[in-house]
Amino acid sequence: MRMIIDLQKKLLPDLMTTLGDRYRVLRYIRLMEPIGRRALANNLEISERILRNEVTFLKDQGLVQISSSGMTITEEGLAVLTQLEEVMKEVYDIRSMEQRLKNVLQLDEVHIVPGDSDNYSWVKKEMGRTCVSLMKKNLTGGDNILAVTGGTSIAAVADMVTPDNGLKDVLFVPARGGLGEQVENQANSICATMARKAMGKYRLLFVPDQLSKESYKSLNEEPSVKEILQLIRSANMVIHGVGEAHVMAERRNSSREVLEKLSKDNAVAEAFGYYFNQSGDIIHKVFSIGIQLEDLPVIPTIITVAGGASKARAIQAYLKHGPGQILVTDEGAAQAILQTNERA
């Protein structure tokens, strides 16, 4: 396939451009359906006139349908898009990028979606969809416990969950307490959303993410907290994000002393309440209820979901320490990480 694509790029470059444009249209309709033409044009940053021609072609081919509520993708369109995704990974050289990033970060699997979520919100949804596919693939047979953290990337995963018989016996639990941020981005809310959409079960953890040393010790002895913590630490799978250190510290309303320490020690990443410098060393930890780094090595499947070129340093810093196994990211972050390592 690689040779054919290379020949097409040289002999029929316009064909590859058209293929890429129609791929983007189909992909976005699938993510946002039903969607109107104006909203689709705005999100894809193309004119309505050009989009009208593309949509008319796709409709005539039976790949999309148009109604008063907006455009939706047909079953045939979904089948074509699924096959096209593998082709486009070759066209955009993403398959090679995945292998290179896997080697650089020393991971079991790397999955890259086209685009940069810093620039396009729909790319985060694509990462979410990819993560859901991996979730269904790895949670097979018997009762399973799935722990999820908070954040916008994991909220996007929850948005992409659909009912599945393979998930109805899964128990969804929050991996951490709440940060006190927007409700929809808290681990409890994401956990409940995933369970509801998957038709599974869930348990919640009603404690703050950040505690004083005394509160931390006290809450760890509460029977109800101990019970849910035991479930969380028995998880078969953890899905989590990676944050930029100073952004996360500010969201936690950290003290001036903590902020100064993070700045002085060049903190770049945060995950599970731990802050890391560029070398992957832990430079600060908050007292928090939930999964700790030492709990992760015994968990069978760990999926890290994080993207955007702005998070490249954070992703690499965390994965130097954290027992990452599977990374779902985007082209923006992947290119930034690879460029940094090629210059080193």
CATH number at residue 7: 1.10.10.10
**Hey, what are 2's tokens?**
């690689």
- The per-residue pLDDT for range 187-226, each reduced to its tens digit, is 999 999 999 999 999 999 877 666 666 665 666 677 778 8
Pair (71, 186) in one structural domain: no
What is the dihedral sign for C-alpha 74, 79, 80, 81?
positive
Instruction: For residue 178, give the DSSP letter.
Output: B
What is the average per-residue pLDDT within 236-241? Answer: 96
Q: Are residues 298 and 171 in the same domain?
A: yes
64, 91, 118: which is the final residue of a domain?
A: 91
**52 and 165 share a domain?**
no
What confidence tier does 317 reach under pLDDT thresholds 50, 70, 90?
Answer: very high
For residue 323, pLDDT over 80 is answered with no
pTM of the predicted model, to two decimals? 0.88
Q: Which domain holds residue 154?
A: 94-343
More confident residue, 177 or 33: 33
Do 56 and 8 reside in the same domain of the chain?
yes
- The secondary element (H helix, E strand) that includes residue 145 is strand 144-148
Which of these three, 57, 91, 125, is where a domain ends? 91
Within this chain, do residues 74 and 206 fall inside the same structural domain, yes or no? Answer: no
Lowest mean pLDDT, pick from 36-40, 84-88, 234-238, 310-314: 84-88
Dihedral Cα 113, 118, 119, 124, nearest 10 deg: 40
Percent pLDDT > 70 in the chain is: 89
- Rounded CA separation 297/313 (Å): 23
Measured distance CA(58)–CA(320) in Å, rounded? 45
Instruction: Verify that 62 and 207 share a domain, yes or no.
Output: no
- Same domain? For 31 and 50 the reply is yes
Is residue 304 within 8 Å of residue 150, measured between CB atoms?
Answer: no
Domains in the chain: how many in total?
Answer: 2
Q: Are residues 69 and 160 in the same domain?
A: no
Closest of 291, 176, 193 to residue 236, by C-alpha: 291
Give the domain CATH number at 255: 3.40.50.1360
> Do both 71 and 156 map to the same domain?
no
Residues 181 and 76 in one domain: no
Measure the CA–CA gap between 256 and 244, rounded to whole angstroms. Answer: 17
- Summarize pLDDT for 296-312 with one digit per residue, the tens: 999 999 999 999 999 99
* Boundary residue ending a domain (65, 91, 117): 91
* Pair of tokens at residue 15: 């064909």
110-143 pLDDT, tens digit per residue, is 999 988 999 988 899 999 999 999 999 998 777 8
158 and 34 co-located in one domain: no
Q: What is the dihedral of CA 332, 182, 243, 179, to 10 degrees?
A: -170
Range from 85-94, 102-111, 231-240, 325-334 carrying the lowest mean pLDDT: 85-94
For residues 258 and 225, the model is more confident at 258
Alpha-carbon torsion angle 149, 134, 24, 116, nearest 10: 40
The answer to whether residue 184 scores a pLDDT higher than 80 is no
Q: Which of 65, 112, 130, 93 is nearest to 5 (CA)?
A: 93
Residues 103 and 164 placed together within one structural domain of the fold: yes
